Chains A and B, each alone.
Chain A
Amino acid sequence: MKNLLSVFFTALILISCGSDQEINDTKIFLNFSHNVDGNPVSMDDLSHTNLAGENYNVLTLKYLISDIKLISNEKDHEKIIKDIHFVDLSDPSTMFIESDIIENGSYTLQFRFGLDATTNVTNSFVNETFHTSMSWPEMMGGGYHYMKLEGSYTNDSTFYNTHTGPTMGMDHSFLCSFDVPININNSTNNLEYAIEMNINNWYGPEVVNLEPAIMMNMPTQMNLMMNGMMGVFNLQGLLD
């Protein structure tokens, strides 16, 4: 009897200690949203105005981000959420990412806008949906566009093509890091964040004009990169 009671209470103790083990089912959901200085994106009237004073709308927005990951506060480990993600404003299915289960810890989010030089190689992603629309000709540097941002400006029949990419083989991709703390423990529910792009911030503070053809314009490509680094993207917690 005494032995049976000992076994019973030992089992009870083991079970009650189980909840202290690091087991959770927390996932991260990333939603992509786009605005122009806080206003909804206009595909019709030329209601947006950039730093250069040009009025425009947005008819096409496609871009690639890569190496999307969580970095621990101690910088001692990372959790890759997704290697490459293609966003197409015309395709709602591209507007979110669902991560795998994330281990307990305190993190920040980081991704690369575009593809780095090692990754951005012609025909590397032939089976991806973005291969046909985002390919960047070999004679201009090869690989893939980082972004296609297109629309009308000044009047309906004048089109701009803000296409960014590896002009002449130069790597114009850049890292985006966000200070928003992402804390996960056993009691954390799924977390949801919005990655917001302010389209107007591509065109300033380094003034970039709307033009039809900039793929081989190195100074403009560099200005777009710098503007991108200075704050095109913002991370907003939605559910935490």
Chain B
Amino acid sequence: MNRGIIVLLLVLLFFSCKKDLIIVEGCTDQMSSNWNPTALYDDGSCLYDTIIPFQTTPYNIITPFGFPDMIIPEDNPLTLEGVQLGEKLFNDPILSADNTLSCSGCHIKANSFSENNQYSTGIDNIEGFRNASALINLGWNTSFNWDGSVQTLEEQVFEPVTNPIEMHDTWVNVESKLNSDTIYKNLFKNAFNIDYIDSIHVVKAIAQFERTIISVDSKYDKWMRQELQLSPSELNGFAIFNSEKGDCFHCHGTEMFMDNDFHNNGLDANNFADLGLANITNNADDIAKFKTPTLRNIEFTAPYMHDGRFSTLEEVVEHYNSGGNYSPTVDPLMKKIGVGLQLTNAEKQDLINFLKALSDYNFINN
């Protein structure tokens, strides 16, 4: 009897619960947009959103004649989106604390991305102590700043933003300003697929843009391509430049017109106001050594030397023609210390005319 009651109860229980055991059909794929977690049987109804993978447009650099491969870090390849974003940031005073000074404020295209003042002035009206470098062909440099204090363009961009005598901002503030700007939010999303703009990606974008600032279409380059002829004066200047008569090529050689090295070129005998490379290496042998700048577009980048002490190319040539000043770390390539190059006035002018043939007007004007 009791057994029968139990069976009856079980039957009743079965039928009362039967509706909960109905097999639910639906989409069982968790990756779909209409996944039914209660579905036990997939009925083929799964739907999927169209996922567009993140893509950027590669920006290809054509290596100029006689140049090595450009140094491009693996974690910051050149893209059209990155370069365009970098150019916008380069020209935007938003990077400075009072929103008045951009990179282009001290690196002016008409001056081959340097400026014609001896020193640059920051937002607090404080003058710097070194002449603004020309920002061309930077992708082929192995170190940056006059003292080689940083090894990559990305590292270099960090410093001016926070330097009290330059943009005097903080990266926290810069990030806040950029993240409040819908246009920048979209541009960074397109360039790097990020939703929050940080300093790392700001410097990456600017570095990408700077790598595209390339100047290799001077009269000299056209002559090398046999598109025109240099004047007799320019040709004689070329000969002086590339022989031990002028000896310029030993530091300003190759098609890059620089050597990625540091030299004491005899500017001072003692009482060095700026120790240059020695500030970085703490090596007394590096006192007064500065990075060799390119001579491309040198006509546009006065004044000259790390401290802008020479206003004209004539003064520069006269420095070397007079021999320069001996100091214990002066480069042995300055082998005419105290004697000088002994160029005639005509030869000095020929050399200057050749230096001016390194001017890329197409770059400056377009």
CB-nearest residue of chain B relative to A211?
A: B335
The 7 closest A-B pairs by CB, nearest first: A212-B335, A213-B244, A150-B332, A137-B242, A157-B326, A159-B335, A132-B259
Total A-B contacts with CB atoms under 8 angstroms apart: 71
| Contact in complex: A59, B332 (CB < 8 Å) | yes
- A138 — which chain B residues lie within 8 A by C-beta? 242
B261 close to A133 (CB less than 8 A): yes
What is the distance, in angstroms, from B291's C-beta to the closest C-beta of chain A? 12
Judge if A208 is at the interface, Cβ distance under 8 Å.
no
Q: Which residues of A contact B260 (CB under 8 A)?
A: 132
The answer, yes or no, to whether A154 is at the interface (CB within 8 Å) is: no
- Taking CB atoms, residues of chain A closer than 8 Å to B253 are 132, 135, 137
Interface hub of B67, B244, B336 (most chain A Cβ within 10 A): B244
A-B contact sample (12 more), CB < 8 A, given A159-B334, A216-B243: A122-B66, A127-B69, A132-B256, A133-B259, A137-B242, A139-B239, A151-B332, A156-B326, A157-B337, A159-B335, A160-B335, A215-B243
| Residue in A closest to B258 when the chains form the complex, CB atoms | A132
Cβ–Cβ < 8 Å partners of A216 in chain B: 243-244
B328 cross-chain contacts in A, Cβ below 8 A: 156
Smallest CB separation, A127 vs chain B (Å): 5
Question: Is A135 within 8 A of B254, CB to CB?
Answer: yes
Which residues in B have their C-beta under 8 angstroms from that of A122?
66
Closest chain B CB from A47 CB (angstroms) = 16
B333 interfacial contact with A, CB 8 Å: yes
> Please, could you name 10 A-B residue pairs with CB atoms under 8 Å apart, sorted by A?
A126-B254, A127-B69, A132-B253, A132-B261, A139-B239, A150-B332, A156-B328, A157-B330, A161-B335, A213-B247
A154 and B258 CA atoms in complex are apart in Å by: 31
State the Cβ distance, A220 to closest chain B Cβ, in Å.
Answer: 12
Q: Which of A127, A151, A161 is the one whose CB lies under 8 Å from B68?
A: A127
B338 interface residue, CB < 8 Å from A? Answer: yes
Contact with A along B227-241 (1 / 0, CB 8 A): 000000000001100
Chain A residues within 8 Å of chain B by Cβ, number: 27
Q: Determine whether A140 belongs to the interface, using a CB cutoff of 8 Å to chain B.
A: yes
Number of interface residues of B (CB under 8 A): 30
- For the complex, what is the distance from the CA of A140 to the CA of B239, rounded to whole Å? 10
Answer yes or no: B249 CB below 8 A from chain A CBs.
yes
Q: Which residues of A contact B249 (CB under 8 A)?
A: 135, 137
Q: Which residues in chain A, 103-122, are within 8 Å of chain B measured between CB atoms? A: 122
**Chain A 21-64: CB-based contact to B (< 8 A → 1; otherwise 0):** 00000000000000000000000000000000000000110000
What is the distance, in angstroms, from B364's C-beta to the closest C-beta of chain A? 25
Most buried by B among A122, A157, A216: A157
State in angstroms the CA–CA spacing of A123 and B66 once bound together: 6
Q: Is A152 an interface residue (CB 8 A)?
A: yes
Chain B residues whose CB sits within 8 angstroms of the CB of A59 once the complex forms: 332
In the assembled complex, the Cα of A151 lies from the Cα of B260 at a distance in Å of: 21
Chain A contacts of B239 at CB under 8 A?
A: 139
**A-contacting residues, B253-267, CB 8 Å:** 253-256, 258-261
Q: Which residues of chain A are within 8 angstroms of B261 by Cβ–Cβ distance? A: 132-133
CB contact between A60 and one of B68, B332, B337 (< 8 Å): that residue? B332
Q: Is the CB of B243 within 8 A of A212?
A: no
Q: Any chain B CB within 8 A of the CB of A82?
A: no
Q: Which of A132, A139, A212 contacts B242 (CB 8 A)?
A: A139
Return chain B residues, CB-CB under 8 Å to A213.
244, 247, 335
Cross-chain contact A152 with B332 (CB below 8 angstroms): yes
- Whether B243 and A139, one on each chain, are in contact in the complex, defined by CB atoms closer than 8 angstroms, is yes
* Interface of chain A residues 41 through 96 with chain B (CB within 8 A): 59-60
Chain A nearest Cβ from B33, distance in angstroms:
51
Residues of chain B within 8 A (CB-CB) of A152 are 332
**A122 vs B65: C-alpha distance when bound (angstroms):** 11
Residues of A within 8 Å of B333, CB to CB, are: 150, 159, 161
